[in-house]
């Protein structure tokens, strides 16, 4: 039987607002399959977003959903998670939302290793506002605020996340869909801060400006540009030009997790006090 997405989508919300050919819908479906595979209770899931195209995703899902301010999803989510540490907190954020205005919260959430999953929808642009360049726009490409070719330099989000302390770092793409399902499941199952950068296609604000005539051209560019990390590491240096690894790029199990460490301290205090008062 075909997968029944309707079980997870709030009634009457489709068709969604994303442009024709925007792959956010594809990633959205992958996310729903990943959540379904874990048999989670919808009451136990919170999805938090900032501002931007990706931030509209929580509006469609039948979970506890919170659409916050630009760049601030992670810290709203930290409040939710600390208040209810046994619940699943999922954060969706665009490349600008997560690494430009939200950059400070991004590195601190990684450092803190708090148990939540951040999906960074990287479409290389600020789509909602019409195609300005972002901290991930490739050097030399065009954007409405870099009309003569981008002369700014891009983050590599997985390296940023790993350097800041995230204990699960992966990269998926909207083309390699079955692999994406597995990555999201692995990220959500990991105890600690999980970051999944998901390469996405924005035909309207990014593709058209950069000679991608159709959404499919963007998807095919993804197909060519991303190589499973195991194969990528075997490639000779000259072959890795213009290519990036995807899959699970870093995973450290058993690292102390922030909520666990905090509430272990609470327990220690309770035993010491012997009061056991809530």
Binding stretches for other proteins (CB under 8 A):
1-2, 5-6, 10-12, 14-16, 18-26, 28-29, 42-44, 46, 48, 51, 58-59, 62-69, 72, 75-84, 87, 104-105, 108, 174-175, 177-178, 203, 214-216, 219, 262, 265-266, 269-270, 273, 277-278
Pick 248 or 259: Cβ nearer other proteins? 259
Least separation, in Å, of the C-beta of 239 and other proteins? 25
Least separation, in Å, of the C-beta of 53 and other proteins? 12
Pick 38 or 104: Cβ nearer other proteins? 104
Pick 41 or 253: Cβ nearer other proteins? 41
- 71: closest CA among 34, 94, 98, 92? 98
Pick 146 or 222: Cβ nearer other proteins? 222
Least separation, in Å, of the C-beta of 76 and other proteins? 4
Least separation, in Å, of the C-beta of 50 and other proteins? 10
Least separation, in Å, of the C-beta of 243 and other proteins? 21
DSSP 135-203: TTSPTT--BTTBTT---S----HHHHHHHHT-SEEEEEESSSHHHHHHHHHHHHHSSSEEEEEEE---I
Alpha helices in the chain (DSSP H): 24-37, 73-83, 95-99, 103-112, 157-164, 177-189, 215-225, 229-234, 258-273
Residue 257 phi, psi (nearest 5): -110, 145
The answer to whether the CB of 173 falls within 8 A of the CB of 246 is yes
Pick 113 or 150: Cβ nearer other proteins? 113
Least separation, in Å, of the C-beta of 86 and other proteins? 9
Whole-number Cα distances in Å, 132 to 45, 97, 105, 149: 33, 13, 22, 12
Pick 24 or 221: Cβ nearer other proteins? 24
The residues, ordered by sequence, that sit 6+ positions from 54 with a Cβ below 8 Å of its Cβ are 24, 92, 93, 94, 97, 121
């Amino acid at each position: 039987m075909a997968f029944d997405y309707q079980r997870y989508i709030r009634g009457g919300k489709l068709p969604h607002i994303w442009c024709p050919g925007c792959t956010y819908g594809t990633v959205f479906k992958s996310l729903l399959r990943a959540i379904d595979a874990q048999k989670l209770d919808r009451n136990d899931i919170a999805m938090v977003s900032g501002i931007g195209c990706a931030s509209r995703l929580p509006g469609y899902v039948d979970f506890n959903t919170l659409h916050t301010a630009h760049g601030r999803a992670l810290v709203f989510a930290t409040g939710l998670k600390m208040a209810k540490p046994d619940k699943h907190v999922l954060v969706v954020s665009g490349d600008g939302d997560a690494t430009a205005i939200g950059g400070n919260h991004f590195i601190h959430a990684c450092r803190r290793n708090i148990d939540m999953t951040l999906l960074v929808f990287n479409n290389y642009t600020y789509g909602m506002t019409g195609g300005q360049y972002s901290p991930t726009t490739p050097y030399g490409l065009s954007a409405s605020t870099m009309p003569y070719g981008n002369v700014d330099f891009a983050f590599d989000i997985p390296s940023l996340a790993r350097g800041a302390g995230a204990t699960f770092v992966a990269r998926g793409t909207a083309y390699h869909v079955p692999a994406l399902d597995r990555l999201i499941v692995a990220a959500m199952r990991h105890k600690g801060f999980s970051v999944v950068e998901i390469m996405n296609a924005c035909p309207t604000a990014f593709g058209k400006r950069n000679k991608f005539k159709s959404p499919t051209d963007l998807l095919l560019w993804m197909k060519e540009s991303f190589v499973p990390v195991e194969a990528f590491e075997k490639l000779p240096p000259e072959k890795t030009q213009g290519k990036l690894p995807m899959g699970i790029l870093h995973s450290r199990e058993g690292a102390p997790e922030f909520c666990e460490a905090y509430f272990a301290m609470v327990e220690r205090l309770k035993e010491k006090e012997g009061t056991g008062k809530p």
